[in-house]
Structure 1
Amino acid sequence: MPDSLRLAPLVPADLLQFHMLTAFPPHNVNRDEDGRPKTCLLGGSLRGRISSQAKKRALRFAPHFPKTQRATRTREAGILAFRRLSAAGIDDALAAWAALAVNMAVGGGTAVPTLAEAETLLGGTKKGKGRKAVEPADDEGAPKPRDEIERSLRSEQGLVVSTRELARLDDALESLIAAWQQNANGFASTLAGWVRTVCKEKLLTRADHDLDTALFGRMVAADPAFTVEAACAVSHAFTTHSFVTEGDYFSAGEELNELGGTGAAITSYAFFGGGVYYQHAVLDRAHLRQTLADGRSAEEAERLVVDAMDHFLTGLLFAQPKGKRNSHASDVAASYVLVTRGGDPALNLGLAFLDPVTPTAGQDLMQASIARLTAFHEAARAAYGLTNALCAFNAYPAARAGNAPQAPEVWTVEALHRFVLEAAGQEVLA
C-alpha cells in the first residue's frame, strides 16, 4: 500500500466508554416546548429522545454528587452582590456598580463598568456618587422599580461559577461591607479602586477546579483563559425502536361542589411515552487527571479523580431527569451497560439501532436491544481492531444465561465499579 494511503496512527487515549440501555415506563422526563416528550428521527423512524443536557443536570444534582463539588450555572451573580451590599446599607448606585463589576469578574463581559452606567440602570434624575433608590413617581425621570433594577443586573449569558469562586465572591462582598462600615464617606473612592482590581484580576480561578467543572467543563467567552474543557461527553438518549407519543385526558372532580353540579374543577391533556433508550457516554481519564491536578497535591488530585469516576458511573446508572416525576414515578436504573476501558477511540454505537428494533418471538424489547448492541459491538471490534478491556453489566434477568455470569459479563454494581475504578489503581469494593 502506498504510504500516502496508510492510516495515520491513532493518538493514544485513556477513555472509559459507556453504552447504556435503560427501559422507561410511561414517562415524560424531558419535554419540548409543547409539553410532549422530546423526539428525533433516526433511520426514517420517529424515536423518543432524552437530551444530554437533561441527563447531565440530573447527574450533577443526584443525591450522591457532593454539593461542595457542584458548580453553579447562573446569570444572577450580580444580583446576589447587589442585594448583599444594599442590605448592608450601601447606596444602591454604588451597590449596582459593584454588581456590574462582579458580573465581569465572573466572566460576564469585557468592559470595566462605570458609576454612570450604574446610575443609568437605577433611573431617575438625581446625580451624585450614590443614592438610595426610591419608589417610582409619576414624573418621567422616576427611578426604576427594584425588581426591574435587579433584572437589569443579570449577565447577558449564563455563567458557570465554581464553589471556590463563589467563596471568593463571598469574601469580596464581606470586605466591601467592612470598608463601608469603617468609612462610608470615602467608600466611593475605595469602591472605584476595587472595581478596577476585580475586573482585572477576576474572581475566577485557573486551578483547583471542582468535580463539576472538571467533568462537564465551562466556556468563558469573555476570557478564554478561564475556559475548562470537559473531561466527559454524554450523548442524547434515543429509543432503540419506533416511538409513539400518547395523550392523556385527565380531570379532577369539583370537591367543594357548592353548586351541586357534576362538572370537573380541572380538565386538561398530558403527554407521555415509553421504551428502551440507548445512550453513550465517554470519560477521558487522562484529561480529568490533568484538570484536577492543577493547584493540588498528587495525592489529593488522585483521590478526586477516583471520586469523579465513581460519581459519574453512579449517575449514569441511576440519575434520570425529573420531568413529570410526580405524575409517573418514572425513576429507573440502567438495565444493561457495556463498558470499555483503554486506548481505543471513542465510538458511539447508536448505529446499531438505525433499523428500529422489533422483538422476535420469545423476546422483549430489552432482550432484542441487548442482542443488537452486543452483536454490533463485536462486529465493530473486529472491523476496527479494537482492543479495549470490556465489561458488560447485565441487570436484566430475562437476558441472562445460566446461573452465574460469564466473563466479561457481571451481574452486580459492585463488580462494575471495580472494573471502572481499576483504572485508577485503587483497591475498591474488594
Structure 2
Amino acid sequence: MNKPTLFVEVHILQSLPPSNVNRDDSGTPKQAVYGGARRARVSSQAWKRATRTEYAKHVPDADRATRTKRIATLLAQRLARPVAKGGAGLPDEQADRLAAALLEPLGITKSAKKDDQSAYLLFFGRKQLDALVKLLEGKAAELAALPDADLKSEVGKLNVVQTLSTGHPAEVALFGRMVADLPALNVDASVQVAHALSTHAVRTEFDYYTAVDDENTDDHGAGMIGTVEFNSSTLYRYAVLGVHQLRDNLTDAEETRRTAVRFVDAFARSMPTGHQNTFAHRTLPHLVLLTVRTDQPVNLVSAYEEPVTGVTGLATESVVRLADELKAVGETWGDQPLRTLATYTTEGDKITEVFGASLPFPALLDSLDALVGQWLTDLQITSTEAAQAGAR
C-alpha cells in the first residue's frame, strides 16, 4: 500500500521596483534565459534563507535552528555554563576538550584555516545541543578528567548521533540536512523552492551615484562616485511543502500543522535583503495561490514560457496567465487540485472561476490550518485502523 501524500503548493506573483536582491559574483542581478528571453532571477537559496529569517521572527530562540561551522564552540559554551543554567560547569579548557570528544563520532574535523570552526556547515537545533549535554548525566567533570583514549571510549558509548538525528526543530524539518560523511544525520527536506523568475523579459540598468563630502568646502566635486546594477520585475515564485514528509520529520501532528501554516506565512512575507538599504524594495505579493494535491506537485512556470509583454500591466497579465495555465493543466492532464485557496487583488470573472473567491490572507492561513489538520487526523485514523486490522 502506497503511503498517503499531501502537497501544499505556493504560487506567488510579486512585483519588485528597481532592486538588486540577489547578485552574482560581479554584482549583477542574477538572471536566467527562459523561453528565449532573459529573465530576472532570484535563487532558491536566497529565498530559503529569507524565509528562514522571516519564520524565526515568530519562534522562541531556544526552538530555533542554526547553520554554522561553530558547533564545537557552541557546545563548549553550554558545557561551561553553570549547572543551574543547564550546563556542566566545566572550566573553558575542559569544556573545549569534552566538546571535541563528543563531536568526534560525527566526523567533524577542524577547518584547515580556523581552529574554532569545523570543516563544513552543520544545520541543527539549539535544543539538540542541550540534549547532548544531558547525555552526560552529570558526569561531565568525570569524563573531562579521563585520558584521551579512555575519554574516546566512554564517549563512544553515548548516543551522540542518535541525539542529533531526533528532535529536529521546524527549520531542519522543513529544509532538510545533508551530511555526506555521515548519512545517518541526513534529513529529507519537506520543502522544495524554485528559483524565482520574472514573468517577462528584463534588462539590467545602472545607477550612477555620487556621495558628497560634507566637510569639503574647497571645491564642488564628489567625495565618492560609483555605480550599482539593478532591474525591476514581476516575479513568479513557487514552493511545495510535502506535509507527509514534514510529519515524518517532526513526528508530532500538532507541530506539523502549525509548522505548515507558519511556513506558508513566512514564505509569502519573506524578502531577500540584497541592497535593501539602497532600494527599499520590500513589497507584498499581488497573488498568493495555494493548490493542494495528493498525487504530485506541478510547477506552473510554463505559464510564462512566452514572456508577458505588459499591454495592460505586467502584474495583471501575469495573474491571468497563471489562471489560464492552472485551468489548462487540469483539462489536459486531468490533474485537478484537491483544493485551491487564493489571496489576490486583481479583478476578473476568469480569475475568480479558476482560483475561487479571494480570501484575506489571514483567512487563507486559517483555511490551510483546518485542511492540514483534517488530513493529519484522517491519516491517524487510517493508520490506527490498519494496525488493528493487522493485529487480527
TM-score by length of 2: 0.81
Are the aligned partners of 1:391 and 1:409 in contact in 2 as well (CA < 8 Å)? no
Q: Equivalent residue for 1:118?
A: none
Are the aligned partners of 2:208 and 2:225 in contact in 1 as well (CA < 8 Å)? yes
Are the aligned partners of 1:357 and 1:369 in contact in 2 as well (CA < 8 Å)? yes
What is the CA-CA distance between 1:236 and the residue it aligns to?
0.7
Q: Equivalent residue for 1:328?
A: 279
- Once residues 86 and 170 of structure 1 are traced to their aligned partners in structure 2, the CA distance between those partners, rounded to angstroms, is 10
What is the CA-CA distance between 1:86 and the residue it aligns to?
9.3
Where in structure 2 are the equivalents of 1:377-416 lying within 5 Å? 377-396=326-345, 399-401=346-348, 408-416=356-364
Q: What letter is aligned with 2:340?
A: C
What is the CA-CA distance between 1:84 and the residue it aligns to?
7.6
Q: What letter is aligned with 2:281?
A: S
Q: Equivalent residue for 2:240?
A: 282
Matched, 1:104 2:104: yes
Q: Equivalent residue for 2:199?
A: 240
Q: What letter is aligned with 2:242?
A: D
Matched, 1:214 2:163: no
Higher radius of gyration, 1 or 2: 1
- Once residues 19 and 157 of structure 1 are traced to their aligned partners in structure 2, the CA distance between those partners, rounded to angstroms, is 33
- Once residues 119 and 348 of structure 2 are traced to their aligned partners in structure 1, the CA distance between those partners, rounded to angstroms, is 56
Q: Equivalent residue for 2:370?
A: 422
Q: What letter is aligned with 1:207?
A: T
Are the aligned partners of 2:30 and 2:42 in contact in 1 as well (CA < 8 Å)? yes
Matched, 1:37 2:29: yes
Q: Equivalent residue for 1:3?
A: none
What is the CA-CA distance between 1:212 and the residue it aligns to?
0.8
> Relative to structure 1, is the Cα distance of residues 389 and 80 closer, same or farther in structure 2, using a 3 angstrom cutoff?
closer
Q: Equivalent residue for 1:16?
A: 8
Are the aligned partners of 1:394 and 1:400 in contact in 2 as well (CA < 8 Å)? no
Q: Equivalent residue for 2:382?
A: none
More deviation, 196-205/266-275: 196-205
Q: Equivalent residue for 1:303?
A: 254
Encode CA deviations 1:335-373: one digit per residue, 9 max, x unaligned: 11221113131111111111111123xx10001111111
More deviation, 78-87/191-200: 78-87
- Once residues 24 and 212 of structure 2 are traced to their aligned partners in structure 1, the CA distance between those partners, rounded to angstroms, is 28
TM-score by length of 1: 0.75
Q: What letter is aligned with 2:298?
A: L
- Once residues 161 and 380 of structure 1 are traced to their aligned partners in structure 2, the CA distance between those partners, rounded to angstroms, is 39
Are the aligned partners of 2:66 and 2:124 in contact in 1 as well (CA < 8 Å)? yes
What is the CA-CA distance between 1:170 and the residue it aligns to?
5.2
What is the CA-CA distance between 1:102 and the residue it aligns to?
4.6
Residue number among 243, 249, 255 corresponding to 1:291 in the alignment: 249
Q: Equivalent residue for 2:381?
A: none
Are the aligned partners of 2:78 and 2:133 in contact in 1 as well (CA < 8 Å)? no
Residue number among 282, 286, 289 corresponding to 1:338 in the alignment: 289
Encode CA deviations 1:233-290: one digit per residue, 9 max, x unaligned: 1111010101112111111111122x62222222211121111111111111111112
Q: How many residues align?
A: 361
Q: Equivalent residue for 1:352?
A: 303
Are the aligned partners of 2:66 and 2:126 in contact in 1 as well (CA < 8 Å)? yes
- Once residues 50 and 259 of structure 2 are traced to their aligned partners in structure 1, the CA distance between those partners, rounded to angstroms, is 15
- Once residues 25 and 177 of structure 1 are traced to their aligned partners in structure 2, the CA distance between those partners, rounded to angstroms, is 56
What is the CA-CA distance between 1:393 and the residue it aligns to?
2.1
SS at match of 1:264: coil
Are the aligned partners of 1:52 and 1:237 in contact in 2 as well (CA < 8 Å)? yes
Are the aligned partners of 1:205 and 1:226 in contact in 2 as well (CA < 8 Å)? yes
Q: What letter is aligned with 2:66?
A: T
- Once residues 205 and 390 of structure 1 are traced to their aligned partners in structure 2, the CA distance between those partners, rounded to angstroms, is 36
Residue identity (%): 30
Q: What letter is aligned with 1:393?
A: A
SS at match of 1:256: coil
What is the CA-CA distance between 1:97 and the residue it aligns to?
4.7
> Relative to structure 1, is the Cα distance of residues 389 and 194 closer, same or farther in structure 2, using a 3 angstrom cutoff?
same
SS at match of 2:50: helix
> Relative to structure 1, is the Cα distance of residues 245 and 90 closer, same or farther in structure 2, using a 3 angstrom cutoff?
same
Q: Equivalent residue for 1:267?
A: 225
TM-align CA RMSD = 3.2
Q: What letter is aligned with 1:411?
A: L
More deviation, 346-355/171-180: 171-180
Q: Equivalent residue for 1:165?
A: 128
> Relative to structure 1, is the Cα distance of residues 395 and 65 closer, same or farther in structure 2, using a 3 angstrom cutoff?
farther
Are the aligned partners of 1:246 and 1:271 in contact in 2 as well (CA < 8 Å)? yes
- Once residues 209 and 164 of structure 1 are traced to their aligned partners in structure 2, the CA distance between those partners, rounded to angstroms, is 9
What is the CA-CA distance between 1:101 and the residue it aligns to?
3.2
What is the CA-CA distance between 1:69 and the residue it aligns to?
3.3
Are the aligned partners of 1:104 and 1:202 in contact in 2 as well (CA < 8 Å)? no
- Once residues 268 and 38 of structure 2 are traced to their aligned partners in structure 1, the CA distance between those partners, rounded to angstroms, is 25
Where in structure 2 are the equivalents of 1:175-190 lying within 5 Å? 178-179=141-142, 187-189=145-147
SS at match of 2:49: helix
SS at match of 1:68: helix
